[in-house]
């Protein structure tokens, strides 16, 4: 089995399955202390400490959504201003050409549209979606990650055989299952 990550080469590794999030977190702590950096966690629900242990930083999604809303509002207002004041000015009923209250509804709608479209595309990009297939999905027991198992994918480190180290680091016993996933 091979898993292709963004680098375009084959990745071999180990998949460890745990019955409880505490056991998974303990194994993850040990792996990080030993210098393993290419790890991925799959679980049926979010486990609070995982992002810290994997060294993940907060994403820029909220900033992207706010910027999209501001740009959508400014763009919507400018589009109406350009059309009604600069390009085709008509004095209707004595109102001013730049009547911002008349522009507010469309400005809001274009801001909401920009937030929705750009926010959705940014979310999909950050989450690497749509990912309809990844070879890790064929690993034995992987379907349990969406039900009641907590999985850690440990990618092989370049030029190193970590089999013995992993056997010592990962707990053995009730509720733990470890599979070698060959390339």
Q: Can you give the pLDDT at residue 161?
A: 75
How would residue 3 be classed by pLDDT, with cut points 50, 70 and 90?
A: very low
Task: Please check the confidence at residue 122 and state whether its pLDDT lies above 90.
Answer: yes
36, 66: one domain = no
Closest CA to 126 of 79, 65, 74: 65
pLDDT tens column, 15-69: 888 999 998 999 999 899 988 888 999 999 999 999 999 988 888 999 999 999 9
Q: Can you give the pLDDT at residue 174?
A: 65
Closest CA to 50 of 180, 150, 169: 150
50, 95: one domain = no
Which tokens in the block code for residue 80? 């109406």
Close Cβ partners of 174 (under 8 Å, ≥ 6 residues apart): 19
Angle subtended by helix axes 61-81 and 100-126, to nearest 10? 150
**157 vs 75 pLDDT, higher one:** 75
66, 118: one domain = yes
Task: Please check the confidence at residue 11 and state whether its pLDDT lies above 60.
Answer: no
pTM: 0.68
How would residue 4 be classed by pLDDT, with cut points 50, 70 and 90?
A: very low
Domain assignment of residue 106, given as a range? 61-126
What is the separation, in whole angstroms, between the first and last Cα of the chain?
A: 5
The whole-angstrom separation of Cα 95 and Cα 53 is 61
65, 115: one domain = yes
43, 73: one domain = no
109, 70: one domain = yes
122, 65: one domain = yes
The whole-angstrom separation of Cα 82 and Cα 74 is 12
Q: Per the structure, how many domains does the chain have?
A: 2
105, 86: one domain = yes
How would residue 111 be classed by pLDDT, with cut points 50, 70 and 90?
A: very high
Report the phi/psi class of residue 91: left, alpha or beta, with left for phi > 0 and alpha for psi in -120 to 50.
Answer: beta
Which CATH number fits the domain that encloses residue 162? Answer: 3.30.70
Task: Please check the confidence at residue 143 and state whether its pLDDT lies above 70.
Answer: yes
Of 80, 96, 126, the residue that ends a domain is 126
10, 37: one domain = yes
Strand, coil or helix: 171: coil
Of 86, 105, 126, the residue that ends a domain is 126
- Taken in order 72, 77, 83, 86, the sign of the CA dihedral is negative
Burial of 178 (0-12, 13-18, 19+ CB in 10 A): middle
* Other Cβ atoms within 10 Å of 69 Cβ, number: 20
How would residue 1 be classed by pLDDT, with cut points 50, 70 and 90?
A: very low
153 touches 39 (CB < 8 A): yes
66, 116: one domain = yes
80, 68: one domain = yes
pLDDT tens column, 72-109: 999 999 999 999 999 999 888 888 888 889 899 999 99
* Mean pLDDT in residue range 121-136: 88
């Amino acid at each position: 089995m091979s898993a292709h990550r963004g680098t375009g080469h084959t990745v071999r590794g180990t998949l460890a399955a745990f019955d409880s999030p505490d056991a998974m977190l303990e194994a993850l702590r040990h792996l990080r202390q030993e210098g393993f950096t290419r790890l991925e966690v799959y679980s049926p629900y979010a486990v609070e400490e995982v992002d810290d242990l994997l060294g993940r930083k907060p994403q820029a999604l909220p900033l992207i959504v706010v910027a999209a809303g501001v740009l959508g509002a400014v763009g919507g207002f400018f589009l109406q201003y350009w059309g009604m004041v600069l390009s085709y000015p008509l004095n209707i009923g004595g109102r001013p050409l730049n009547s911002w209250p008349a522009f507010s509804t469309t400005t809001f709608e274009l801001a909401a549209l920009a937030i929705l479209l750009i926010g959705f595309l940014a979310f999909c990009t950050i989450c690497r979606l749509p990912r309809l297939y990844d070879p890790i999905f064929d690993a034995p027991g992987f379907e349990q990650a969406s039900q009641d198992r907590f999985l850690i994918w440990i990618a092989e480190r370049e030029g190193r055989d970590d089999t013995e180290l992993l056997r010592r680091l990962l707990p053995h016993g009730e509720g733990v299952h470890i599979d070698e996933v060959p390339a």
